[in-house]
Amino acid sequence: MSEINGNYGGRITGWGIALGSETITNDDLASRMDTSNEWILERTGIKERRIGGSTAGLAVQAGQDALEMAGCKAEDIDLLILATTTPDDQIPATSGMVQHELGLTCGAMDLNAACSGFVYSLVTGFGFLKLGYKRVLIIGSETLSRVTDWEDRSTAILFGDGAGAVVIEAEEGNGCLLGWNLGCEGSLRDILYAEVGGKIIMAGKEVFRKAVIAMTDSAKSSIAAAGLSSNDISYVIPHQANIRIIESAMKRLGIAENRAVSVLQKTGNTSSASIPIALFKALNDGRVKSGDILLLVGFGAGMTSASAIIQWSESNE
């Protein structure tokens, strides 16, 4: 039983990722459709992507590693939030399968905010820590290869499969979440969608334009909510859709491009998995130090946007 205690914040104490089993290079795509490695690299920054596996299967792999790193047993977790826009079934929610496979005994739910799903889930998870839960497992997991039209060169080059997970744990005080912002512009549904059972349809140029604005606006709101300025941001962990989107957003935010963490060269766009995969890279290559301020920011179909400011501290390590 959990007592509401608004004085609790949280910390990220474990993290893990999983990627699709098969590597598809740009040259592999060029052998199947009218495109080239040069075009894809120049227009997107993507070199290869990983595909294969199920949304639940990838989520379980990433989740297991996150639990292990946090030193948690399955029964220690009070809630599972699975961000996905590619559930394995229409009914039930994929989180149920993940809950079962991980041996969790807690509640579980899917959250669909497309590529903003991980940050939406992270903020939701921190809310539950304030409501009295001690540990929440948050996973973004996607198998976009199943909803990609492999005949359509304007979308097939972009997407990949993967998962990223974090454990957040309650602690007294404000915790590491300093500011956040969640947004949605529902009128933009038609620029990026897939009907039930259908494939992704996208107006690429329009999505690009809106994405830069949505990302920048959301990031600015979170930075302001945290009482900070762009100069305070140590690293940006952006949604990994297109390197040119990241570069444009960084320019608008006035943050040096080398502060953005990118993994899309090797993963493509893995939707709600992309931010935790990039976070994993930043944490594991040792560049993030105690006291650093991280800006996690994403955008996606909906059109959704989300950002969170996280202050890293010794107790995360």
Q: Which is nearer to ligand COA, 61 or 116 (CB)?
A: 116
Catalytic residue among 26, 72, 112, 115: 115
State the nearest-atom distance from the C-beta of 27 to ligand COA, in Å. Answer: 13
Q: Which is nearer to ligand COA, 46 or 138 (CB)?
A: 46
State the nearest-atom distance from the C-beta of 160 to ligand COA, in Å. Answer: 12
Q: Which is nearer to ligand COA, 147 or 211 (CB)?
A: 211
Q: Which is nearer to ligand COA, 127 or 204 (CB)?
A: 204
Please list the residues that pair with 75 across neighbouring strands: none
Give the binding range for ligand COA (CB under 6 A) out of 36-44, 50-58, 85-93, 137-145. Answer: 36-44
Write out the two tokens for 16: 């893990």
CA-based nearest residue to 66, from 163, 166, 168, 136: 166
Which residues touch 207 (CB under 8 Å, ≥6 apart)? 191, 192, 303
Q: Which is nearer to ligand COA, 36 or 105 (CB)?
A: 36
State the nearest-atom distance from the C-beta of 36 to ligand COA, in Å. Answer: 6
Give the binding range for ligand COA (CB under 6 A) out of 13-21, 59-67, 69-77, 149-157. Answer: 149-157
State the nearest-atom distance from the C-beta of 203 to ligand COA, in Å. Answer: 8
* C-alpha neighbours within 13 Å on the C-beta side of residue 244: 12
100 catalytic residue (yes or no): no
Is residue 44 close enough to count as binding ligand COA by CB under 6 A? yes
Return the residues of window 223-282 that contact ligand COA according to CB under 6 A: 241-242, 245, 269
Radius of gyration of the chain (CA): 18
91: Cα separation from own chain's centroid: 23
Instruction: Mark residues 194-213: x for contact with ligand COA by CB under 6 A, - for none.
Output: --------x-xx-xx--x--
Instruction: Mark residues 152-171: x for contact with ligand COA by CB under 6 A, - for none.
Output: -xx--xx-------------
Q: Which is nearer to ligand COA, 72 or 207 (CB)?
A: 207
115 catalytic residue (yes or no): yes
- Measured from each CB, the residue nearest to ligand COA is 204
Return the residues of window 85-144 that contact ligand COA according to CB under 6 A: 115
Please list the residues that pair with 305 across neighbouring strands: 183, 299
| Catalytic machinery residues | 115, 239, 269
Q: Which residues contribute to the site for ligand COA (CB under 6 A)?
A: 35, 39-40, 43-44, 115, 153-154, 157-158, 192, 202, 204-205, 207-208, 211, 241-242, 245, 269, 300
